[in-house]
Amino acid sequence: MGKLKQCYVWLKQQPVFALTVNLLIMMCLFMVCRIVFFAVNHNFFSDVSVGHFFDLCRGGIQFDRTAVIYVNLLLVFMLVLPLKLRNHTVYQNVCRWVFVVFNAIALFSNLCDTGFFPFTNRRTTFSIFSEFKNENNMGGVLLNGIADNWYLVLFFVFLVWVLWKSFFRPTAKTSTTSPWVYYPAQLLVGAAFVGLCVAGARGGFTRDVRPITLSNANQYVNKGTEAAVVLNTPFCMIRTLNKKVYKNPHYFASQADLDKVFNPIVTPQPKGEFKPLNVVVLILESFSKEYSQFFNPGLDNGTYKGFTPFLDSLYQQGYTFRNSYATGRKSIDAMPSVLASIPMFEEPFILTSYSNNTINSIAGELNKKGYYTAFFHGAPNGSMGFDAFAKLAKFKDYYGMTEYGNDDDFDGHWAIWDEEFLQFYAKTMDSFKEPFMTALFTASSHHPFRVPARYEGKLPEGLSPLARCIAYSDNALRKFFQTASKMPWYKNTLFVITADHTSQMMHLEYTTDEKLYSVPILFYQPGNDSLRGLSDELACQADIMPSVLAYLNYDQPFVAFGHDVLTRENKNEYVVNYNNPLYQILQGDYMLQWDGEKTVALYNVRTDPMLKANLKGTLPDVQSRMETEIMAQIQQYMMRMVDDRLCIETDLTNRKED
C-alpha cells in the first residue's frame, strides 16, 4: 500500500496527469449536459427506453472525447510542453483560466442547443453564424432566449462554478529531477499523450480510420432525431467549421445510367397556349400541419380545433396534399426549395460555396414571358440573406422593411407584423402591371412568440407558445385575402401556399422523422373548380416550381429537382429531404433513410406511423428501388452543384464528362 501511495503522490505532481484528470472532468460534464438535454426535450424521445438511452450515451462518449480534445488544445499544449515552470502556481493559475473559459464556452453551446432543439430538431452547426450574420437584433433575441430558458442559465452558472472548483493542478511547485532525465522523459510522455489525443480526436489509431463525423452517430440511433442525443454541439460546430465541398459520389458509372433513373432537366409538354396568370407564392413561417384541424380530424380523439381556421377553409377551396413535406428544417432551406426547386442536401444552398451558381427559378422563367417579379419580406433588408437569394433567383425588385417605410409597425425583434405587412403586400401588388409573379415570406409566427398588444388575450392558446402566433398570422392571411379579393388582379391569380418548415411540436405524432417535415402545400385559383381536391399523392416544396410552370403551360426547358404534381406527367412519385445526418426518401407507403453509403432504416409510414418497426433488409425490392432513386438524386445534385449546372444555359456550357 505504501508503494501505491507513493506512486499516487508522484502522479499528482505530474502536469500530464493533471491534464488527464481535467479532460476526464470535462467528459463527465459533457455527459451531464447530454442528460439535461434529453430530460428537457424528453417529449421528442418518448419512445426511448432506459436501455437505449444508455446506448445513446455510450455512443456519445466518442463524440464528447473528440470535442473535449479540440476545445482543450491550448491547455494540452501548455501542459505537455517539457517546461519545469508548468508546476509553478502562476502558470497553473493561467492554465485554470484557460480551462474555465474555453470549456465554459463549450458547455454554453451545449445548453443553448438544449433550449433551441424544439425549433430545429438537430444540433447546431457552424452555418448558424452565416445564417444570422445580417441580423441586427440578435441582442434582443438572445435576451428573450435567456428569459425563456432561465433555468438553463442558472445551470450554466453552476457548471462554471464546478469548472473553477474542480480544476486539478500538479501538487509540486517545481521539479527537482535532473534536467538530463526530466526533459527526455517529459518529451516522451508529451509525445505519447499527443498521439493519444490525435487518435481520440479522429476516432481510432489506424490510418484506415477516418475522422468521425456527424454521420457516425447513425450507428447508435433508431431514428434521426436521436442523433442529437448522441452528438454534442461543440463537435458539430467544429466538424462543420470548413464548409463541405461537394463531391461526385459515383453511385452510377455513367451520365447515361444516371439520367435513366433521374434527370432534373425538365422538357415541358404544354397542353395548350401559355396562360399568363399572376402567380403569388406565400411561404408561412413555421406553419406545420400540426396546427391545422383540416389535416388532423382524428387528433386528440377528434376534439382538436387547430389554430388555422382561415387556411382550413381555403384548403377546401383549392388543391392540397395530405402528404406534403419540406426539404429542410430552416427558413433559409425553404426559399431555394420553393422558388427554385433546389432541395437542402447537407448544407443550406445559400450558405454553400456554390451559392453563386446560376439557377432556374419561377421568377427567372416567368421573366422570359414578360412578367414583373418581386419578393417581399418584412424583416430589415439583408435579414437571413433573403434579398441576396431573391436577386440570384432573378426577382426584379425586393420589398423589405425599408420599402415598407414605417418602423412603428416593427415587432421589436424580427420584422413588420404580418397583418400590416400583408396589407402592404396586397396594396403594392395592386399597383403592378399584369402579369406578375410575387413571393412573400411571413415572419410573426416566430420566437419570441409575441403578438400585437391589441390581440393579447383574444387568440387561442395551445400547448406551444407558437400556437397563438400561428392563430394571429392565420387571421392576418384572412384579412389579406379579404383585401386582395376586391382587386382586379385577384381572379386571374394562382396562389401557392406552403410553410418554410415545422417548429414546436405539441403532439407525439408530429415528432417522428417523417412528420418533422410535414408542411402544407396548397394551389388555389379563385373560381377555378377544376383546381380543387385533397390528394393522397406525395408532394414537397421542390415540386412547387415545376408544378406552377406546368399549370401555366410553360414551354421552355429548365432544371428542377422536384416533379410536377398537378398534371402528373412524371409518374415517378417520391419526396426527398435531408434529416441531418441522413437523407430520407418517401415513396409509396415507405420511407427509407440513407447515410450516403448504405440504408440505415426502412419504415412503412402508413401502417407504422410512429416508425417503430425497422424493415431494413426485409423488403429487398422496395429497398433497392428506393436506394436507386435516392442515389440518383444525390449524385445529380452534387455533380450539378460542383459543375454549376443548375440551369439549362450552364448545363450546356459547363457539362463535364465523368
Tens digit of each residue's pLDDT (9 = 90 or more) over 85-136: 667 788 888 889 999 999 999 999 889 888 878 876 778 776 666 555 565 6
> Binning pLDDT at 50, 70 and 90, where does residue 630 land?
very high
State whether residue 604 is helix, strand or coil: strand
Asked if residue 410 lies in contact with residue 365, where contact means CB atoms within 8 angstroms, the answer is no
Mean pLDDT of 492-507: 93
Mean pLDDT of 540-560: 96
- Residue 499 corresponds to which amino acid? A
The pLDDT score that the predictor gives to residue 658 is 42
Mean pLDDT of 425-430: 97
Say how far apart CA 466 and CA 483 lie, in whole Å. 26
C-alpha cell at 147: 428569459
Is the predicted pLDDT of residue 176 greater than 60, yes or no? no
Using CA atoms, how far residue 386 sits from 205, 243, 283, 336, in Å, is: 45, 20, 12, 10
Complete DSSP assignment for 466-503: HHHHHHHHHHHHHHHHHHHTTSTTGGGEEEEEEES---
Domain boundaries, the chain: 2-239, 255-487+496-654
Q: Radius of gyration of the chain from Cα atoms?
A: 27
Of the chain, the percentage scoring pLDDT greater than 90 comes to 51
Question: If you search the block for the grid coordinates 457552424, which residue do you land on?
Answer: 126
CATH topology of domain 255-487+496-654: Alkaline Phosphatase, subunit A (3.40.720)
> Binning pLDDT at 50, 70 and 90, where does residue 209 land?
very low
Say how far apart CA 511 and CA 503 lie, in whole Å. 10
For the chain, the straight-line distance linking the first and the last C-alpha, in angstroms and rounded, comes to: 69
State the DSSP code for 553: T
Mean pLDDT of 367-384: 91
Average pLDDT over all residues of the chain: 86
Mean pLDDT of 170-197: 59
Tens digit of each residue's pLDDT (9 = 90 or more) over 566-598: 976 555 689 999 988 889 999 999 999 999 899
195 Cβ neighbours under 8 A, 6+ residues apart = none
Say how far apart CA 311 and CA 508 lie, in whole Å. 23
Say how far apart CA 52 and CA 253 lie, in whole Å. 40
Helices (H) and strands (E) in the chain, counts: 22, 14
Mean pLDDT of 7-30: 79
Give the strand pairing for 533-540 and 558-559: unpaired
> Binning pLDDT at 50, 70 and 90, where does residue 75 land?
confident
Residue 340 vs residue 122, higher pLDDT: 340
Is the predicted pLDDT of residue 65 greater than 80, yes or no? yes
Say how far apart CA 383 and CA 377 lie, in whole Å. 9
Residue 278 vs residue 238, higher pLDDT: 278
Tens digit of each residue's pLDDT (9 = 90 or more) over 289-328: 999 999 999 899 889 999 999 999 999 999 999 999 999 8
Say how far apart CA 547 and CA 350 lie, in whole Å. 23
pTM of the model: 0.76
Half-sphere CA count of 356, side-chain side, radius 13 A: 1
382 dihedral zone (left: phi>0; alpha: psi -120 to 50; beta): left
Residue 47 vs residue 293, higher pLDDT: 293
Mean pLDDT of 162-188: 68
User: Which of 139-143, 330-334, 597-601, 608-612 has the weakest average pLDDT?
Assistant: 139-143
Say how far apart CA 245 and CA 215 lie, in whole Å. 16
Nearest CA among 375, 427, 359 for reference residue 646: 359
State the DSSP code for 462: -
Say how far apart CA 499 and CA 520 lie, in whole Å. 6
C-alpha cell at 197: 489525443
Complete DSSP assignment for 50-68: HHHHHHHHHHHHHHHHHHH
Tens digit of each residue's pLDDT (9 = 90 or more) over 432-481: 999 999 999 999 888 888 899 898 989 999 888 999 999 999 999 999 99
The pLDDT score that the predictor gives to residue 133 is 57
Asked if residue 505 lies in contact with residue 299, where contact means CB atoms within 8 angstroms, the answer is no
Sheet holding 372-377, edge to edge: 397-399, 372-377, 436-441, 278-284, 493-499, 521-524, 319-325, 533-540
The pLDDT score that the predictor gives to residue 401 is 92
